[in-house]
Structure formats: C-alpha cells, structure tokens
Amino acid sequence: MIKAGIIGATGYAGAELVRLLLGHKEAEIVWYGSQSYVNQNYADVYRNMFQIVDEKCMGEDMDALADQVDVIFTATPQGYCASIINDAVLSKVKVVDLSADFRIKDVAVYEKWYGIEHKSPQYIEEAVYGLCEINREDVKGARLVANPGCYTTCSILTAYPLVKEGLIDADTLIIDAKSGTSGAGRGAKVQNLFCEVNENIKAYGVASHRHTPEIEEQLGYAAGKELVLNFTPHLVPMNRGILVTEYASLNKVKRADGSTGLPSYEEIRAAYDKYYEREKFVRVLDKGVCPETKWVEGSNYVDVNFVIDERTGRIIMMGALDNLVKGAAGQAVQNMNLMFGLKESEGLEFAPLFP
C-alpha cells in the first residue's frame, strides 16, 4: 500500500486529491497537510468527509512528512514547493507538484511570468512534465513530477496531434479558453464573489496569462521549434470545467498520387487516432459532436474534436475537461500510478457526473 501525504489538502485541488485517493485500492492518505487549519478536523473543513475522514489537519513540514510516506503531493501556490524541496526529501520519496514551480525549463521565463524568484532551480532539469499521454515513459522513472495545470492540459492535448504531425501552421495558433471558478482556488478574492461572477463572463490575463509560456514550450517540443501563440482565458459562472477553442491555419499535404491540398477530415481524424486511439482518458468524439464541460465533469476524461473550415483554410479544434480532476488531482493520481508501476487508471475509472 502506497502511503501518501498531501501538502495543501484543504484547497480545492487538495480536496479533490483526498476524494480520489480515498477510492484508490493501492494508496492510503496518512498526512492531511494544511497551513490554515492545523489541528482542526479535516471533516470540519469539508463536511462531505464527515464519518469518512477522521484525521486532523497537520502542518506542512515536508522534511517530517518524507519520513512517513512514499509520495508527497504539493497542492500549493506557486513558489512554495520550490522553497521547501531538498535532496534529503527526494532521496526518500517521490514528489508530484501541482504548482507551476517545475513545469517551465527556463528559470528566467518562470521568474518573468510568475514574478517570483525560483528557490530551487537545480531541480528544474530533472523534473518531468507530467502530461502522461505525451511523457509516459519519462514519468515512470521520475522522482519529481511537474503536474500540468488545467488550462495547459486541455490546450496542449487538443492541438498536440496536429502540431506533431505538421498538419497546422503552429505559428498561427490562437487559443480561447474558458474556466469555472474553482480554477482560481479557494482563497477569498473579490473578483470571485458570487455577485461578481454570476450572470457574467470575462476575459482576464489578456496577452499576459502565466500559462502561456508553458503551452508554448510543450507544443514547441512537438513542433520542433520555438512557438509564440495567443492564449486568452475567460472566467465563466460554473464550478468546474475547462473548454478550449483553438484556431490555426492548415498546412497543405502531399499525397501519394503527387497532388497537394488541405488535409481532409479523414486525414485529420487519422492524426488524432494515431496519438489517442489507445489512450484511456482522451476521447476523440464522433464527427460533428462538440466537446462540452458537462460530459466530463467529475472525471479524468478529456474530450476533443475538430471542424475544418474549408472557406478560410483553417481548423477549429475543441477540448473539454474537469479542471479539478484531469486538470489537477486526477492527473496527479495518474502520474503517481505510473511512478509506482501501477495500472495507470487505478482510482480513476469512474464515469463523468450528470446532471
């Protein structure tokens, strides 16, 4: 049985980790770490855990935690994990960090976009970007995984096959993304109050959102070159969910008969099937069916699809996921499963919730 500790167990992503790990056959939670609720009953913070979780919240001492568990999940704000991780910890346990501290390989880029000094840049090169569908083999041997976030996971997986196969001009890529309010975390913020969010939709972080360089870096690896793209997030009045709509110009393809032209539906679909046909958690929808957040809610699935706009020579790619599951905690569990040689889908094999 894998012993797990969670630092940040009382945030939304941490609470989702608790929910998922409680149903995991091969793992048990032995440390509910929380900076704000030390010595309080976890079930008093989240009443849905009444008579399910009897433990009290403990502190966030990673060094002490490393002596008691096999894996540490850090569901904490940016900068925190980097400030406390060390060689002694990594020599004892595996770490899955849900923040952005080790996602970006260029420390200068991280510090520019996040506005903080990186406290442990020596671990950046070692950290594996934990997008399982792309980096599965590297995750298996990792001791430190940088768990991707919700916007990035959805944005990358939606476009990845077409970037990798050169079917789109990646330099023309524009990503329009929308998120439920839980993506902003559990902290009290005026802009997230009910009256501010309800009956409203708004863009934020326009041309400056800090997930932009992460998406550029990962899709750049697929393209084999540096990319610059537009990413615009929006906040919508729902609890959970990410929906991305992405636009790019199609590249012409050369066919066996010597002719060239824009790729057909069948050629685009073949690219998606090449990368996702055997993936448990990426569902390529039937022709004409657009992804919707309600059909992935509460699950670790990502739904993707596309429409070719022959009139403009562009393609519209769409993706949807639950930001707290595949966009955070579910992906972290998926990474843990790979790191410990378990069935990748263990603890995650449940259907989306509806209604």
Could you give the C-alpha distances from 298 to 21, 42, 49, 101, 293, in angstroms and in order?
Answer: 14, 21, 17, 26, 10
Contact (CB, 8 A) for 304 and 279: no
Structure tokens at 285: 């929808």
DSSP class of residue 326 equals I
Closest C-alpha among 349, 182, 158 to residue 268: 158
Query: For this structure, is 290 an active site residue?
Result: no
**Residue bearing tokens 């709509």:** 245
Choose the catalytic residue: 132, 150, 154, 290: 150
Q: Which residues contact 338 (CB under 8 A, 6 or more apart)?
A: 132, 136, 139, 140, 344
Sheet strands side by side (includes 168-179): 202-203, 230-235, 168-179, 242-250, 314-321, 302-309, 282-284
Which residue numbers are catalytic? 150
